[in-house]
Structure 1
Amino acid sequence: MSEFTIADLVRLLRECAGEDEGVDLDGDIQSVTFDDLGYDSLALFNTVGRIERDYAINLPEDVVSELLTPQELIAEVNQHLEQPA
């Protein structure tokens, strides 16, 4: 399986939860919190569900709830992608 990237995450955020007009998702957002990007827990839940379906992985809810930034979510997804099925 290929690596999950910031471009993949931005695409899924836009598709699953939209984009706040005041936020530039094309900028350097990797260390910006999801709250500051305008994404609440429901938006993140929808996005994570889509990631799980598209990439055939399971991200534990207790772990996901602790992820604050895109960089942290990307690292978690890639860690699960590296694990053998």
Structure 2
Amino acid sequence: MIDRALAIDPALPAASAEQGALLLLKAKAEPEPAQRRELSLRAASALERALRANPLLGREYAPLLDEAGKVAEAVKR
């Protein structure tokens, strides 16, 4: 459903935020470090896009953006 919403309107902030949240969940469950990093970077990108478009989503999604960055950074080490 999220992919469909973004196909219709790629700038839809709520859909981008949910996409980022789901990508972060996938990243946290991914056992392969390179794939975990890729998923967390994609999550961060989607969340950043959503928060730029609608700062009011920050209360709910800013912590997820921070977490995505931490997951990506942890894999670098």
| TM-score greater than 0.5 by the shorter chain | no
- Larger % of helix: which? 2
Q: Which has the higher contact order (CA 8 A, sep 6+)?
A: 1
- Give the structure-2-normalised TM-score: 0.31
